[in-house]
Amino acid sequence: MSEAPSSAKIDNAETDSAKIGSAEMDSDNPELFAALLAGVRLMEGRLSPRDLAHQVVLAAMRQRDIVGARLWRVERGQCEVWAAEGQLPAQAAHLDGERPLLSQSDDPTLWTSALGSDDFRVRALEVHGARPLSAEVRGHLDYLARFAAVVLALAERRGAMEELSCIVEATKRLNSTLDLGELIHIILQIATRQTGAERGTVFLLDRERDEIWSLVGLGLQQHAIRLPITKGIAGWVACQGSPVRLENAYDDARFEPEVDRQLGFRTGRLLCLPIRNEDNAIVGVLQLLNKKEPFTDEDEAFIDTLSTHVAIALEKAQLHRERIEKEKLERDLELAREIQAGFLPEAPPEFPGVSIAVSHRASQRVGGDYYDFLPVPARSDSDGKDQLLIVVADVEGKGAASALVMANVQATLHALADRVEPLEKLPATINQKLLDGGRASAAAGRHTKYLSMFLGLLECGGRMLRYVNAGHVPPAVIRADGNIEYLEAGGMIVGLFPDVAYECGSVQLNADDVLVACTDGITEAMDAAGNEFGKPELAASVAAKRHLPPEQILASVIAEVEKHSRGGMYEDDRILLVMKVT
């Protein structure tokens, strides 16, 4: 934003303006005075400094024998033509580095004059005649220069104050909400109103995905647009950090027309600028479209001045949005944990001939480890006693996705609980159901889940266990004399390949025998050096405590696993089940 003239300069300018309008009216050039007074009326309107600069050049062109005039503007070392008319040389008649030379020239057809200057800017009027300029014309031009310096200073001061007022108002509005969608709408209202653009979009930078995305566009029905940072004008600005101003976007190879096609819009003029925070880091891009007149340096300067305020507001709104989403996720996970807890038995059932204890702990709010006890009606060819299906399963991975697969398995098992025979068909049925559901997930681009599981059917009053081990950590039977047997018969994990066949194993149980089953969160629990707790250590620990009740065995083993894994990096869901034959 251009710096406004000081109050002292403006006071002097206003005094000079009064002199122009009264004390010097006794001049003998009524035509010049008429032109100047008409100019005063124009200056009292709401013309921009650029429009006023054009009026000054036109006033110079009205003098006799003038064939060309231009007004230079130099700000912070950048020199440009502010307004020009007529026949002019390609370069300035006199240049001193980046500043027009304002000293007198030997060329009698040339006239130059400063129109006020300070440490940041220079305004200079350059006029060319068809023949040597008379003293009268030079006097008129001197008078015009004095007049132009006053009105341009007043206009720039007015423009600076209006811009400052607009920025103050904009800052207040930007700080009025933490809702990201509403904030972006406010940003676009301010930017389009100030620049005259028909439409705009704020793109936010997602560095993790290397994307830019928009939440809302002014005049749109809140379309969500995501683009790779390597595509489009906005992506280029986000990468390069330089503004882009185009008269016709389709003429630029960087322009991505797909967004226009999606929205049924035709982009013409375009102004795209980076949004930088206080650390000068790019946090987004503002793109303005289809202004009736070309976008100007003033448009760019205003947005650039507003950029830091916009960036701060956007970062605050995004942090607020992330906090709200995190709180919602926490509530959802807590609800999911409560729902999942309802899937698992509150306590092991009472079953003749055995005593059971079980422990479950998820490494996150929800997990994929699952255990269950399902009463099964007695077979017609059995001793008439009811049976108990014991399930210990471990879905691959952790978190909500694994918990959903676990819920699916639980529902399938409960639906098939009265048809578990033959036992080896049960994991095959679950395998096919997971594969059928996995096809839909794969088609949607989601990773499919698999699981290991142990199914044990306890019968004959707890003296016989038929089982299928589908790729699970082998449970161990610790005999009353301390011998250890692992239950490994079965087949591969569930949910990977179709038409998998499983086999059923069996083991005779005797009084004081202990069965221990777990998920790999127990056996693969690591210490700080990366050493696993291990299957042999688990079996040996239970064997050493086999004379205790199952609840005490369970508590003691859990304490050992906790001690072993203290300081370790690996953390997984854990299930430990201990059953003792009475």
Determine the 3-state secondary structure of 415 from DSSP: helix
Q: Indicate the fold that domain 7-166 takes in CATH.
A: Beta-Lactamase (3.30.450)
Confidence at residue 15, expressed as pLDDT on a 0 to 100 scale: 44
Residue 176, both tokens: 């009025």
Confidence at residue 356, expressed as pLDDT on a 0 to 100 scale: 95
Q: Are 190 and 31 contacting, i.e. CB atoms less than 8 angstroms apart?
A: no
Q: Peptide bond preceding 549: is omega within 30 degrees of 0, i.e. cis?
A: no
Closest among 395, 427, 410, 413 to 340, alpha carbons compared: 410
Cα separation of 390 and 354, whole Å? 12
Confidence at residue 513, expressed as pLDDT on a 0 to 100 scale: 95
Helical H runs in 466-523?
A: 520-523
Residues in the chain with pLDDT < 50?
A: 1-28, 43-45, 93, 95-99, 101, 103, 119-120, 217-221, 443-445
Q: How many helices (H) and strands (E) does the chain have?
A: 13, 23
Query: How far from each other are the two terminal CA atoms of the chain, in whole angstroms?
Result: 88
Confidence at residue 69, expressed as pLDDT on a 0 to 100 scale: 93
Cα separation of 500 and 492, whole Å? 8
Tell me which DSSP letter residue 532 carries: B
Note whether 7-166 and 175-321 share their fold: yes
Q: Are 398 and 340 contacting, i.e. CB atoms less than 8 angstroms apart?
A: no
Residue 108, both tokens: 């009698």
Cα separation of 462 and 581, whole Å? 7
Helical H runs in 130-219?
A: 135-174, 180-195
Question: Hey, where are the domains in the chain?
Answer: 7-166, 175-321, 344-581
> DSSP of 409-451, one letter per residue?
HHHHHHHTTT---STTHHHHHHHHHHHHHHHHHHHTTPPP--E
Cα separation of 519 and 451, whole Å? 11
Confidence at residue 116, expressed as pLDDT on a 0 to 100 scale: 67
Confidence at residue 248, expressed as pLDDT on a 0 to 100 scale: 94
Between the CA of residue 473 and those of 201, 397, 469, 517, 541, what are the distances in Å? 55, 16, 8, 8, 16
Q: What Rg value do the Cα atoms of the chain yield, rounded?
A: 41
CA 432 from chain center: how many Å? 39
Q: Side by side, which strands form the sheet with 476-478? A: 354-361, 574-581, 514-518, 476-478, 484-486
> DSSP of 226-238, one letter per residue?
EEETTSHHHHHHH
Please give the single-letter amino acid code of residue 529: A
Closest among 269, 274, 229, 240 to 252, alpha carbons compared: 269
Q: How many CB atoms lie within 10 A of CB 56?
A: 24
CATH number of the structural domain 175-321 = 3.30.450.40
Which residues neighbour 344 within 8 Å (Cβ) at sequence distance 6 or greater?
360, 370, 371, 372
Class of CATH domain 344-581: alpha beta
Confidence at residue 270, expressed as pLDDT on a 0 to 100 scale: 94
